[in-house]
Chains A and B, each alone.
Chain A
């Protein structure tokens, strides 16, 4: 009896694996940012986006109807909040993801995540994008344009970005390096968290014409000693987290002579999503930063 149950169970397993795979008609074959070759049989219509920046891109390309799931962090555009939440890449709600029957997952990262491998094991195609530079953003838009069957829309968004980048670059190029403002970007206050040049915000600062005083820290983001801020005399402090107020920063021990504090050039309450998110709105963030750095 027991043995026959085993046998039935084995048959059941065989049956599962012997299911015919969906016929690939060859809608699109793409090599993603991790160098993986991904073939899509049909144009995807049930997409899960695993990053707020990617969600924004899909909306900007007009593909919102094809999105079935988003992360807990996808808050822009506001309608994106109405989509089904699937947790995030660190705490994914895997059952809900699978129950959405996605035909494509869009992820970010520079290495395959455990989640990506789970999706691969389920034969759900995954495209993984890097999100570290402006070039990454534009390449992601281009790829998504192909996936969502609107390449011309992607091209025009990229052209618009190039145009706005050029405007700011022209303005910045006129300022000699030593005349550019020294900027401290605060990403957390206990401990004090700062960004290096390799981070996206590090690149935003230099594109907007500032000099990141913590640019030389070896990782993208790191806890730093408040001494570093005092030593490097930033003329501007941008606060990219909700914990610190202008008053709290002004009262910090030893910060009274920092030029930014002395001259009241502390900027809390900035739209972090626009400035920190490597998405289609980054040029808006760039304009905000440039406006702060070169305020009259």
Chain B
């Protein structure tokens, strides 16, 4: 049997368990039937975890394929930096409460996420082509620039400082207001549509991984495809950032994990990444909610888990290469 199909037999019940575990754990006590009021707090949070994990993982997988670079991920492209700056700017301008929080903040993070992407795109464009190396390089530069801008905002911030820092650390705990629920539906739509689009491009991404020129000669409109993939990824990242802040390493590590199971074929890799990413983030958040009476930002947990795992992957790769 194909390895990825075999994996799905384990993943399906595992995902169910993850969701149940996510719903059952929290500071109000372990249990599913605790109190439907408690459940109405946990349910959107688990949903947000699933969505954010899925969105980050699928955009990571798609970017790795589209740019032919194993280090590609949403954060490397500078989109996250731009989106985070937009969100922080919205907070500094006092757009966190009321209508501003529901509309202003996500729009700011989308606008600056797209701006970052546009700058990366126009910086890295060579003629009509979009070489992978220049995309990564300009992503790093744009990210560095937005990091500096974020530092500036942190220095200027007064009472918004705490909110900004939690946004930059990545946190699923912001979602408990009625307006954020509305925002959750919008972001859900964005993430599901974009992921579906990326999945539909699985075969084209496979072609792309043959190299740009072979893909072109097989009739693929390479640059057009790349632009669309970048755009879909940016949309998802901006959606995630505006609800959950900056969550690192999911987009980088999960596609590698999925590739170990499914092999490089993108139509198999993408759904596996989506499900693994969703599972990972929900589990990490369940941990973040229960290990201490305070909220531990989930971005801290994913980075703490992600870095050692990435080192493990690297060492494994080195051993097989030898």
Contact = CB atoms under 8 A, between A and B. Distances in A.
Interface in B201-216: none
B158 to A, nearest CB: 8
B26 A190 contact: no
B40 interface: yes
B163 A190 contact: yes
Given A226-B41, A227-B26, A231-B29, A243 B97 contact: yes
A contacts with B: majority SS: loop
A32 B204 CA distance: 72
Given A190-B166, A243-B97, A230 B41 contact: yes
A248 B97 CA distance: 9
Contacts of B40: 253-254
A228 B176 contact: no
A228 B292 CA distance: 12
Contact of A225 (B35, B101, B155, B295): B295
Interface in A197-237: 216-219, 222-228, 230-231
Given A190-B96, A231-B27, A223 B38 contact: no
A228 B29 CA distance: 9
A243 B28 CA distance: 25
A230 B38 contact: yes
Contacts of A253: 40-41, 44, 176-178, 181
A225 B174 contact: no
B295 A230 contact: no
Contacts of A252: 176-178
Nearest to A228: B27
A243 B294 contact: no
Interface in B190-204: none
Contacts, number: 102
Nearest to B158: A72
Contacts of A243: 96-97
B173 A191 contact: yes
Nearest to B159: A241
B229 to A, nearest CB: 32
A227 B28 contact: yes
Nearest to B294: A222
A188 interface: yes
Given A217-B294, A252-B178, 19 more contacts: A189-B97, A190-B96, A191-B174, A192-B176, A192-B295, A218-B293, A222-B294, A225-B41, A225-B289, A227-B27, A230-B28, A230-B35, A230-B37, A231-B27, A248-B98, A248-B177, A248-B178, A253-B176, A254-B38
Interface of B: 26-29, 35, 37-42, 44, 96-98, 101, 155, 159, 162-163, 166, 171, 173-174, 176-179, 181, 289, 292-295
22 contacts: A191-B295, A192-B173, A192-B176, A193-B162, A222-B295, A223-B166, A223-B173, A223-B294, A223-B295, A225-B26, A225-B295, A226-B173, A227-B26, A227-B41, A230-B38, A231-B38, A241-B159, A252-B177, A253-B41, A253-B181, A254-B40, A254-B176
